Amino acid sequence: MARIKTPTYLVKGYKKVKASKQDGSLWVLIEWQGRYKDSWEPVTNCHEWQKDKQLQSLIAAMKEQAYEVEKLLDVRMHGKEVQYSTHWKGYPKSQATWEPEAPLPDECVSEFWAAKRKEIVDSKIAKRKTAESGSETQYLVQVCCVAMGLYRHTS
């Protein structure tokens, strides 16, 4: 049986470094000599990567870059885990990602639920007249309790 020889390409340069969302391992976008297409490779596959100053500076810059939450857009249950659609500062909304609640700043989660409650209250007020349910304050308290899951409205 004849062996097929795999072509060997030399690294022309490193373009970007990113961390894997699954396990946090580092990947590098490599520009190859003699090859028209760049490819993402694990950093550990790059021979002598610890000695390459260009790659080390990309890794250092990537580690310094912190992602900042602009706004939480939506919420969902993924299995037994609560996840939030996260809009990242400096990125378009189309690049929002679903993130678990744990690493997200508490103030962002609080702001999200405050806005959600306000949205529910506003829609309830628009649908009903406050006179039908007694005082406006009593009605707002009822709607907020419904929104927080503390009270079940039966009508």
- Angle between the 106-127 and 136-148 helix axes, to the nearest 10 degrees? 130
* Integer angstrom CA distances of residue 111 from 47, 71, 94: 47, 9, 21
Rg over CA atoms, the chain: 25
* Integer angstrom CA distances of residue 105 from 38, 111, 119, 127: 35, 10, 22, 34
Indicate whether 152 and 114 sit together in one domain: yes
CATH of the domain at 94: 2.40.50.40
Indicate whether 45 and 74 sit together in one domain: no
C-alpha triplet 58, 60, 61: angle, nearest 5°? 65
Residues 33-54: tens digit of each pLDDT: 887 788 888 887 776 666 777 7
pTM of the predicted structure, to 2 decimals = 0.44
Q: HSE, CB side, 13 Å, CA atoms: give it for residue 47.
A: 3
The answer, yes or no, to whether residue 103 has pLDDT greater than 60, is yes
> Locate tokens 């500076």: which residue?
57
* pLDDT score recorded for residue 55: 78
Counted domains in the chain: 3
Indicate whether 154 and 115 sit together in one domain: yes
Domain containing 77 equals 67-104
